[in-house]
Amino acid sequence: MEIIITDTPDEVARVAADIIAGVVRSRPDAVLGVATGSSPGATYQRLAELSAPSAPGRVDFSAVTVFALDEYVGLPAGHPESYAAVVSREIVRPLGIDPANAHVPDGAAADADAAAAAYDAAIAGAGGIELQLLGIGRNGHVGFNEPSSSLSSRTRVKTLAPQTRADNARFFDSPDQVPVHCITQGLGTIGDARRLLLVAQGAEKADAIAHAVEGPLSSRWPASILQLHRHATVVVDEAAASGLALADYYRSVQEFKPRVA
> Which is catalytic among the residues 11, 120, 130, 146?
146
Active site residue 168: no
Full 3-state SS string of 148-177? CCCCCCCCEEEECCHHHHHHHHHHCCCHHH
**Are the C-beta atoms of 102 and 62 separated by less than 8 Å?**
no
Helix H or strand E encompassing 251: helix 247-255
Active site residue 231: no
**Are the C-beta atoms of 35 and 134 separated by less than 8 Å?**
yes
Spatial distance between the Cα atoms of 123 and 10, rounded to a whole number of angstroms: 31
> Which is catalytic among the residues 11, 70, 167, 192?
70
Residue 108 CA, chain-centre distance (Å), reads 22
Spatial distance between the Cα atoms of 6 and 20, rounded to a whole number of angstroms: 17
Catalogue the E-assigned strands of 43-114: 65-68, 70-72, 102-103
**Are the C-beta atoms of 186 and 154 separated by less than 8 Å?**
yes
Spatial distance between the Cα atoms of 127 and 31, rounded to a whole number of angstroms: 8
> Which is catalytic among the residues 79, 103, 141, 211?
141
> Which is catalytic among the residues 11, 71, 103, 139?
139
Active site residue 18: no
Active site residue 139: yes
Angle at 29 (CA atoms; ends 26, 34), nearest 5 degrees: 95
- What is the three-class DSSP state of 50? helix
Which residues does the annotation mark as catalytic? 70, 139, 141, 146
